[in-house]
Amino acid sequence: TGTVQATASDTRALGLLRSDQVVKMPYSVSYFVDVSRLDADDLQWNGQTRTLIVDAPDVTAAPANTDEGRRTLVETKGLFVTREAAEALSKSTSARATAVAEREAKSPERMAQARELGRAAIARLLAQPLAAAGMGEVRVVVTFPPERMQRDGERWDMSKSVDQVMRERAAREGTTN
């Protein structure tokens, strides 16, 4: 949710009648995760740590809802604003407000917030049947596609095994002491 500001201009009578309008209006956007797209390949169970890893589909933003009923007219300028110009300004500011709200809704910050809320909702949703089945406390880890791309793109130094690194470290500590 938030408040968006939009501006519009209209020119009539061969450029002699120019009018401008600035409005503010509240908006809201809903976010969704289509859990019906989850299948067995998206779930991994680790019995030792009692952890369910869920590779969820990404969050999607619904079209923005601008509240025309609560819009406030901030300013209208013009020598003479015709009825047609006022109507055109109103339509234009509404369309621009919706576009700005949708752009804001899809911003990285808003999508990150939506993913965090979606992560918590999916974890609760999937933990309940496991608890009802007698599994007790189960940890549910939810990931989204942008996170999995980062995870898949991560590269570890595989030139030495963990045992080699530990032996070398022990040898260095033994010689420095």
Tokens of 26: 């509240």
Residue pLDDT, tens place only, 44-96: 988 888 899 999 999 999 999 999 889 988 888 888 888 899 899 999 999 99
Residue pLDDT, tens place only, 116-168: 999 999 999 999 988 888 888 889 999 999 888 654 444 545 566 667 777 88
Instruction: Over range 112-117, report the average pLDDT.
Output: 95
Beta strands in the chain (DSSP E): 2-12, 17-28, 31-32, 43-46, 51-55, 60-61, 65-66, 72-78, 139-143
Using DSSP, state whether 168 is helix, strand or coil. Answer: helix
Amino acid in position 18:
R
pTM exceeds 0.85: no
State the chain's mean pLDDT as an integer: 87
Which pLDDT belongs to residue 162?
65
